[in-house]
Structure 1
Amino acid sequence: MTPNLHHLELFYHVARHGGITAAARSMPYGIQQPAISGQISILESELGVRLFQRRPFKLTPAGHDLYDFLSPFFVSLPDVANRIAGRASRRLRLAAPATIIRRHLPDVLAAMRKEKPDLELSLVDTDQRGAFDLLEREEVDLAVCELESRPPSGIKTEILISMPLVLLLPSGYKIARSGIHGMAVDFPLIRPSTDTALARLFAKALAKARLEWSPRIEVNSLELVHAYVAGGFGAGLSVKAPGIVFPKGTQVWEIPDCPELVIAAAWRGKIGPLAEQVLDGLRKRAKAS
């Protein structure tokens, strides 16, 4: 049988202050004398011993043993809490796709480090599903990810930016009235892998156009899409996003009737001050783009 921790805490304060009345006056939170007395009586009943004499107050041998056991824990608890809180005030755990971690977070985090040089960072490369899982397990403080579906209950989101999908084509290519249908005939398709948000959004646009255009080349980054288009391997699926510079010798065609790529911040519960600072920096970058 394990005693109730709250009952043990009440006993510790009663023993430390020399009685129930004194403990009620000195407790770190409000609780009345009858409640203290009643809960300690429950503790004594569970343990099967008297822990102290009420009037005049005096600990029994069993009460002395229990107080000696509890005292080091409760005495050191404020210091431990302060130490943990101190670390929490400088530790930040973020999740985001590699592109965001590489292109957009460094400037925001560099500004934070000027104010907080002891900042401790943990950065996880993941997509929306992974980000939501990490938030639900409370393993990250803030996530920045594609937003394709409603988040799980308890996770809050804020849209930062919405960006159109584009096809990257050779600069000399004349776009016919048939648009994407003509491109599908003229070029092999180069795009990110099937499990990415870009590929899923593009599939919706193809479905609307009643067009099948299977990729000839799949790559794991937009940089590779751009490089292979510039190398003459085909037409590439990309996104018109802040910080992206398309290679020379290419032109950008915005895909009509295609869902845009939505990037959002996500967090669980009350957002912490460090995460709020990152979010504010990302808001400013998105607004300036």
Structure 2
Amino acid sequence: MDPHLLRTFTAVARLRSFSAAAAELGYTQSAVSQQVAALEADLGVRLLQRRPVAPTEAGERLLAYAGPILLRLATARADVARLGTPRPGPLRVGATPLAAPSAAALAAAQPARGLVLRVGPRADLVQQVGSDELDVGLLDGFVTPSDPLPVVEAGLIATAPHDEQPAVVALPRSHPLAGRSGLSLADLAVARWIDAPDVAAPLPQLRAAAGADGFRPAVRYDGTDAAGLLAAVAAGHGLAVLPAGPVRGHPGLVGVDLVTPRLMHRIEAVRPAEPAGDRRVRPAGA
């Protein structure tokens, strides 16, 4: 399977448009159509409906494989290039919004390099480390104490614990439940919630953790600014599950412990891994 054809197919499927994929990839629309047709001929199955553009059942199945395949290829290319040409310059760190304050500790370990910090959503971070856009990523998430933080499989990518603290329900100080010592997540299923998937614990995850329906959003927060979300909770627009530190440090908020289930906010450092064996670069033919 030609990875160039696979990349073109994924772009068309994601954008739902041959012309938009052509503009993104720098091809003509005719070339994009020919590449998708070539991949379909290779696999012997129709991958995309044309009008409207949408993946077929076979196309959806291929998309489940395509992301990890393309990510591993990008990681392999970046890792080999890194061996031959060590990158000078500042430490390039990517961080999810709640992990960004931890970037200073990484920079302090290498003060001579300086720091370039990029803050963005969770979905892109592992891919950017794998493709050598970043030297290290700080990825955060909400998990039970015994569960690992889910990380996309990308080949030679290593993760290491960086920080962990309890997750709490963020409430305005005037909220009727603000005086409680602990709360059950299931008891909050019908509360007003702020849907902030790039900052707070995602509502589908809370629904699954509580084993209860509900957790419907009263407000959608599409930003990546944690301070803005804290202000929205303090103003009474809805609840959110967040790490204890920033909530309890906010003058307008109370952070009440989750007792059932107990959730932790975990930050892990994501870096290129060292493969087994000798990584010294040898001349060609040696």
TM-score normalised over the length of structure 1: 0.50
Preserved CA contact (<8 Å) 1:134 1:140 = yes
Correspondence for 1:104 among 89, 92, 102: 102
Mapped to 2, the partners of 1:120 and 1:178 lie a distance apart of 43
Whether the aligned pair in 1 keeps the contact of 2:182 and 2:256 (CA below 8 Å) is: no
Per the alignment, residue 171 of structure 1 pairs with 173
SS of the residue corresponding to residue 164 of structure 1 reads strand
User: What CA distance in whole angstroms lies between the structure 1 residues aligned with 2:217 and 2:233?
Assistant: 13
Give the counterpart of 2:136 among 128, 142, 145.
142
CA change 1:235–1:142 in 2 (3 A) is closer
Identify if the C-alpha distance between structure 1 residues 205 and 120 changes in structure 2 by more than 3 Å, giving closer, same or farther.
same
Aligned counterparts, 1:194-209, within 5 A: 198-199=201-202, 200-206=204-210, 208=211
- Kept in 2, the 8 Å contact 1:93–1:122? The answer is yes
- How many Å separate the matches in 2 of 1:112 and 1:123? 14
Separation in 2, partners of 1:177, 1:161: 23
Q: Could you tell me the percent identity over the aligned residues? A: 18
**Equivalence for 1:237:** 241
Higher fraction of helix? 1
Conserved in 1, the CA contact under 8 Å of 2:156 and 2:272? yes
Aligned partner of 2:117: which letter?
L
Deviations, residues 147-200 of structure 1 (Å, cap 9, x unaligned): 323532211111222333221123352459984455444x4212413x667215
Structure 2 unaligned blocks of 5 or more: 1-84, 141-148, 276-286
Give the residue type in structure 1 aligned to 2:171: L
Pairs within 5 Å for 1:86-165: 88-101=87-100, 103-106=101-104, 108-109=106-107, 112-113=110-111, 116=112, 119=113, 121-146=115-140, 147-149=149-151, 151-165=153-167
Change (3 A) 1:98 1:169: closer
In structure 2, C-alpha distance between the alignment counterparts of 1:166 and 1:159, rounded to whole Å: 20
RMSD: 3.3
Asked if residue 266 in structure 1 is aligned to residue 265 in structure 2, the reply is: no
- Decide whether the 8 Å contact of 1:169 with 1:229 is kept in 2: yes
Query: What amino acid does structure 2 have at the position aligned with 1:144?
Result: L
How many Å apart are 1:252 and its aligned residue?
A: 1.5
Structure 1, unaligned runs of 5 or more: 1-83, 272-289
Distance 1:196 1:230 in 2: 16
Verify: 1:252 aligned to 2:251, yes or no. Answer: no
Q: Does the 8 A contact of 1:190 with 1:218 survive in 2?
A: yes
What is the Cα deviation at residue 96 of structure 1? Answer: 1.4
Give the residue type in structure 1 aligned to 2:132: E
**Residues 22-101 of structure 1 aligned to structure 2 (within 5 Å):** 88-101=87-100
**Contact 1:143–1:265 (CA<8 Å) still a contact in 2?**
yes
TM-score normalised to structure 2 length: 0.50
| Distance (Å, rounded) in 1 between the aligned partners of 2:127 and 2:150 | 15
SS of residue in 1 equivalent to 2:134? coil
The 1:107/1:177 distance shift into structure 2, 3 A limit, reads closer
Question: Structure 1 residue 135: deviation in Å?
Answer: 2.3
Question: Contact between 1:189 and 1:216, CA under 8 Å: does it hold in 2?
Answer: yes
Cα distance in 1, alignment partners of residues 240 and 96 from structure 2: 20
